[in-house]
Amino acid sequence: MTGAFIAVEGVDGSGKSGVVRHLIAALRARGHDVLGTREPGGTPQGEALRGLLLAGADDAWDPRAELLLMTAARVQHVARVVLPAVAAGRIVVSDRYAGSTLAYQGAGRGMDEGLIHDLHRSMVDDLWPDLTLVLDLDPATGLARSRRRLAADAIDEGRFESLALDFHRRIRDSFITQAAAAPGRHALVDASGPPDTVQAAALAEVERFLTFDPERRGR
């Protein structure tokens, strides 16, 4: 059996977590061996870094330190979780991956994208998912949704949500640009509709990929 690496990206509040849960459940129901994971996180060390990265004030981290810690969490995740699972024939579904670094640390925080690409090449051997779903949504809508959720759940992961709308517009534009630059391994999903619709559209893209593009799978 050939493994696959699928990532789901999007602006805050794009319904990404619900899409990830839906994909995992639907693929399992179809008999696939699926590993759900996330970034930053996905390993005990990465989850500890996530706690440090997402708590506190918006400017708590120097952008360079933030980039290195995101990358450190990714190295651990790729080496210890993603690659072994794909090699074992599993389908890995990751809630965010390196596209988020280009978007948030690059377009958002202004870190040099060449540097981010260099780090990505040297640290994870330029590993990109076989398929990246980009949940596309106007950030104003996404922010309103995610503020409601954080308040309702009393979660202290609001550091990134508290940033200005302009920041989130750059994030969205970066994801669209990334998808346009490598259309063979991206699918743009309209995330403006109700959760059921968005989740069904995301699953349809994954099924299309698994059915029609087996040659893109398995690294």
Minimum gap (Å) between residue 209 Cβ and ligand TYD:
21
Nearer to ligand TYD, 148 or 208 (CB): 148
Nearer to ligand TYD, 3 or 46 (CB): 46
Footprint on this chain of ligand TYD (rule: CB under 6 A): 12, 16-17, 39-40, 54, 70, 95-96, 100-101, 104-105, 146, 160
In the structure encoding, which two tokens stand for residue 125, read together?
């051997």
Minimum gap (Å) between residue 12 Cβ and ligand TYD:
4
In the structure encoding, which two tokens stand for residue 6, read together?
């699928």
Please give the order of strands across the beta sheet that includes 91-95: 34-38, 91-95, 4-10, 131-136, 186-190
Nearer to ligand TYD, 16 or 90 (CB): 16
Minimum gap (Å) between residue 31 Cβ and ligand TYD:
28
Nearest residue to 186 via CA among 214, 216, 158: 216
Burial class (CB in 10 A: 0-12, 13-18, 19+), 69: middle
Minimum gap (Å) between residue 42 Cβ and ligand TYD:
10
